[in-house]
Amino acid sequence: MLCEMCGKQSEFTKTISVEGTTLKVCKECSRFGESSEGKGGGSKKGTAAAPSRTVVAERLQARERRMKTRSIYSEEETTDLIPEYPQAIREARMARDWKQEDLAAKLNERVSVIAKLENGSMRPSDTLLKKLEHELGVKLTEKISVVKSEGGRSQGKVLTLGDMIKKK
């Protein structure tokens, strides 16, 4: 069995309660909490002084860290501009029978901005993106999951871009 406090392998585990949490711990750690099985055992030897709360807290923190580092990669979801936004804007605009000038006027932008967006030489700002989606009634963003490596530990494997970004 693994000690739930220090994480060491231990044949002997004891169930104790530490600050309201029940843990199965090894012999060494069992002195950090109250035994939840049987009597309290009031008179202990004076040598084993009761550990301070800090020691207990540190042990618990170390345990938490261990649990976290078990999963090396975490996924984070984010929204990003779709790569084909120039065509999407152009198509949505033409579907409405609007000229670049018409769209520019609706967005209160210059025509050159619309032209740049449609030839892909300019990415819209977040504000402009919202306005574009609203006026054209199209979605120009997509959700992507970015797989992040925690702690920068090399796993002896180089991640390709395909590994890093997974399309939903």
Task: Kindly tell me which residue out of 16, 18, 23, 26 binds Zn ion, with binding defined by CB under 5 A.
Answer: 26
Residue type, 43: S
Q: Per CB under 5 A, which region of 25-33, 72-80, 88-96, 160-168 contacts Zn ion?
A: 25-33
C-alpha angle 78/80/81, rounded to 5°? 170
Q: How far is the CB of 41 from Zn ion (least distance, A)?
A: 19
Separation in Å, CA 34 to CA 6, 17, 31, 138: 16, 5, 7, 61
Closest to 51 (Cα-Cα) out of 102, 117, 98, 5: 5
Q: How far is the CB of 57 from Zn ion (least distance, A)?
A: 15
Task: Kindly tell me which residue out of 16, 18, 29, 92 binds Zn ion, with binding defined by CB under 5 A.
Answer: 29
Examine residue 23 and tell whether it contacts Zn ion (CB under 5 A).
Answer: no
Q: Per CB under 5 A, which region of 5-13, 95-103, 125-133, 139-147 contacts Zn ion?
A: 5-13
- Classified as helix, coil or strand, 166 is strand
